Structure 1
Amino acid sequence: MQNTKPHAALLASPGMGHLIPVLELGKRLVTNHGFNVTVFVATTDNSLSKSQLIEQTPSPNLLNVVLLPPVDVSSLITPTTGILTQLAIMMREALPKLRSAILAMKFCPTVLIVDLFGTEAMVIADEFNMLKYVFITSNAWFLALTLHMPTLDKVVEDNHVKNQEALLIPGCKSLEFDDTFEPVLDRNDQIYVEYKHMGVQMQKFDGILVNTWQDLEGTTIGALGGEKKLGRVAPVPVYPIGPLVRAVKPGPRSEVLDWLDMQPIDSVIYVSFGSGGTLSAKQTTELAYGLESSDRRFIWVVRPPIETDSAAAVFKTSHRSDDSPDFLPDGFLTRTRKMGLVVSKWAPQNEILSHPSVGGFISHCGWNSALESIVNGVPMIAWPLYAEQKMNAAMLTEDVGVAIRSKSLPTKEVVGREEIETMVRTIMDKGDARRARVKTLKSSAERALSKGGSSYNSLSHVANDSETAFKYLKAKPQGA
């Protein structure tokens, strides 16, 4: 059988924040550009199972999804090793598995697309004479910081980290210290070294894909791709191809959606902090009272809190052995039973955000969640907890104009019930300007992804380059 289509290999780290947009990218390469696509997912013994992965795969019959054999990183990490460092180490250790998997394919892929943590796979792309791209599953501002970091001298870094001065990124919004990306703060932490290394590696790829679109970040995208004399940040082409978000899946109705069916349009605020965010007991209590006193309907995906005095704890596990919400204030469930719904640990987020009854979202500002909110026309209360979420919150609040946030950082101080009540009432106000702004961006996102739109055309450039390479570099059985 002849290989009649260009074949793209995508490499994803196992976290949902990376995996979901990678899967959506694969789907678009198949449906819009006629590619064959294989998605390789790095795993450990504790990561995704095949069944869990299939649940996340859009139209599983479109994509060949391969779980790489698990890697054991236990000897390379300690109990204090951060999650981002663990991902970087795991992806490095998975490279021999990726090479073996590609060797076993009947036809070598034309192009390799990796997420941020897979930049070292560049050597494999070169070995097999493939085009190579990085897919940034966050936004263009984060990409600009990542590319800019390796160019900074010690004085500039010290002014930002030690003197808490804003970090200037050529042509882009400056990064305030309070909103900075945590890996840049400690030169002695391995993730600092890993992150700067990623920024260096990315500049050697054939291009960078980013999960945003022209209307959302036009100024930053212009700075990334502008003339060098104007302060161009990216030395390689940048392709905004978003927003790529998980599609709403048809299936059995959940109790949450049945409850939403009974609520008025735009009347419910959805509260969720993602798969990795956990609040302290004190912050959980304040949030409960704030939601109650706001007198607005709500759905709250609540997890047992960590018994700590800090405002938030991230990627930590509660020692509770049950799912009962007995950590909520006495009488809270009884008093709010007519206005609120408390859901334990997980809810179908995109289905909830797409429901007409939902009119606001208290979010940790993971980029997937932020995009899901925007494409469904839902304004946000930004509640960043970790990674680049503080950057996302700053951009969504100050530049994009679709969110509000608390006066103090939730990671540093407990946000009080009075401020929570005020923010909820504000964002749920039908006359609030953020509501109109996010509706405009919802329409803009739809246009960007449609045929002839800015993101569609941007991905077409990548597809065309890959098709050209396919014509001249005939895919052939490995070892021939």
Structure 2
Amino acid sequence: MENRNMAHISSSSSSKPNIVVFPFMSKGHTIPLLHLAQLLLDRGLATVTIFTTPANHPFISQSLAGAHVSIVDLPFPRNIQGVPPGVESTDKLPSMALFIPFVRGLELMQPAFEQELEKIHSQVTCIISDGFLPWTLESASRLGIPRLSYYGMSYYSMAVSRDAAFSGLMSSPETDDEPFTVKSFPWIQITRNDFDEPFNRRDPSGPHLDFINQAVTATANSYGLLVNTFYDLEQQFADYCNHDCHLRTWSIGPLCLAKLQKNKILQSEKPGWMHWLDQKLAQERPVLYVAFGTQASISPTQLQEIALGLEGAEVSFLWVVKKSDVELLSEDFQSTVSERGIIVTDWVDQEEILEHPIVQGFLSHCGWNSVLDGICAGVPILAWPMMAEQGLNAKLVVEEIKVGLRVGTVDGRSKGFVTANNLKSAVRELMGSGEGKQLREKVKEIAKAAIEATSEGGSSWNALSNLINEIQREKEINSSKLTTVDICTK
């Protein structure tokens, strides 16, 4: 691996396209693009240069240990209002209320990005940047480099959101929980509460909306959009995005099936939670994996209900909890469930956990990465959306793909409070031998389809190949035109 302030591409690799990858500073956004980088390298499709910041560099270099990539560090902006010094990722923000100041602050990186990009731009075939870095389109355009956008969202969430917004139906219901029918997909009913701020308002406005509009406009004016899914999983929603939204999209996932090269030094010992899962396998006691991502904020009262629900469900579970939240769990709870439950506060390899044969259920916030991790591991999902587009992902999981159940709220609202009894019932149903067994059988079928899509000759495999070939041909044509102009002017 090449870790330099300025990337260098050797002459031996100059015949391959060189792809610049610029992830957004958040683990959930970064990891899929690292999977993509690994995929491009493993298949010999391109060389890769990754742009990041100093604090995010170690995670990237460790994730791609042994891979021949160049990493360019850009200085992180100083004095972003509200963002503590040294925080260079949304995972470490004290509150997600700082999201807009954070992403706006990143715009200050544009001059440094362009300065480094200009050093290698003649060798760069295209830029793949996160949709939350919309200013990279302007930088790419200045240097004549095509830009591909990546959001890490499902086609379903993009299509339903777009159709609801353009139809004007979002402002029609009198209450936030009154259902209305999506015009282009009449079998789907949604509410404003299926959306997060500011889209759950009748008349959304404000800085957050301004930023989303900027990001969407940049994507619409880019070369195209990469989508972490496979076509057969979301065919009708993919077609809508391509035709009705006039977007060029490529379905190149699930990217989680492109395994990152693990740092052998860091992986020399099996983590304690994996030993625990091995013990449960030996005891033939199926495990529920519980994780709500790094961004969601759970109230102390709700956290206590989760604990009581897991205790009452009487199933084995592995629960990933923020360190700050563990203190809110009583010692009685931890001692009561110690034989059949384990609480983990460290960063875990979620894919590795889900792929363990004893894990047979996943209580999830339904972030798109987690949905794909569960599907590809053949594990059904108990959906409990908490923020962003997770409410729509949950509907996709339960109503469209039919590989999960929805946790019931106390008042039936999509973002309502979940009692211990509701959680207990849902967990028992998911882990049981009735509907839970049917869901496990269904999700394994879809996992097989995902593997086929990403294998040689599959739809995602071919989509990535076709994309790389297309942008390489365009670069060669443009280079030929420039050479001809140069000759004619001499």
Pick the TM interval, shorter chain: 0.7 to 0.9
Alpha carbons 2:121, 2:145 under 8 Å: kept: no
Q: Per-residue deviation at 1:106?
A: 7.2
Correspondence 1:236 to 2:247: yes
Give me the CA root mean square deviation.
2.9
Matches within 5 A, 1:42-441: 43=53, 48-55=55-62, 57-72=63-78, 74-75=80-81, 82-105=97-120, 107-145=122-160, 152=166, 155-159=168-172, 164=178, 166=180, 168=182, 170-171=184-185, 173=188, 175-185=190-200, 187-225=204-242, 232-245=243-256, 247=259, 249=262, 251=267, 252-264=269-281, 267-303=286-322, 318=324, 325-408=326-409, 412-431=415-434, 432=436, 433-441=438-446
2:297 counterpart SS class: strand
Q: Per-residue deviation at 1:73?
A: 5.6
1:8 counterpart SS class: strand
Could you list the runs of 5+ residues in structure 2 that have no partner in the other structure? 1-9, 85-93
Q: Per-residue deviation at 1:286?
A: 1.3
| Structure 2: distance between partners of 1:38 and 1:75 | 30
Quote the residue 1:307 is aligned against.
none
Alpha carbons 2:397, 2:404 under 8 Å: kept: yes
2:128 counterpart SS class: strand
Alpha carbons 1:6, 1:470 under 8 Å: kept: no
Deviations along 1:413-445, one digit per CA (max 9) or x if unpaired, are 331111111111111124422111111111111
Deviations along 1:117-147, one digit per CA (max 9) or x if unpaired, are 1223212222221122112211112332565
Q: Per-residue deviation at 1:168?
A: 2.9
Correspondence 1:468 to 2:441: no
1:182 counterpart SS class: coil
Could you list the runs of 5+ residues in structure 1 that have no partner in the other structure? 226-231, 305-317
2:461 counterpart SS class: helix
TM-score in terms of structure 2 length: 0.83
| Structure 1: distance between partners of 2:27 and 2:254 | 16
2:356 counterpart SS class: coil
Aligned length: 446
* Change in 2 beyond 3 A, CA 1:95/1:146: farther
* Change in 2 beyond 3 A, CA 1:120/1:67: same
1:421 counterpart SS class: helix
* Change in 2 beyond 3 A, CA 1:363/1:234: same
| Structure 2: distance between partners of 1:300 and 1:177 | 30
2:233 counterpart SS class: coil
Alpha carbons 1:27, 1:62 under 8 Å: kept: no
Alpha carbons 2:132, 2:151 under 8 Å: kept: no
| Structure 2: distance between partners of 1:413 and 1:354 | 31
One-letter amino acid of the structure 1 residue matched with residue 197 of structure 2: E
Quote the residue 2:51 is aligned against.
40
Q: Per-residue deviation at 1:161?
A: 8.5
Point out which structure has higher relative CO (alpha carbons under 8 A, 6+ apart).
1
One-letter amino acid of the structure 1 residue matched with residue 295 of structure 2: G
2:137 counterpart SS class: helix
| Structure 2: distance between partners of 1:400 and 1:388 | 17
Higher helix share: 2
| Structure 2: distance between partners of 1:24 and 1:289 | 37
One-letter amino acid of the structure 2 residue matched with residue 178 of structure 1: N
Quote the residue 1:312 is aligned against.
none
| Structure 1: distance between partners of 2:479 and 2:174 | 50
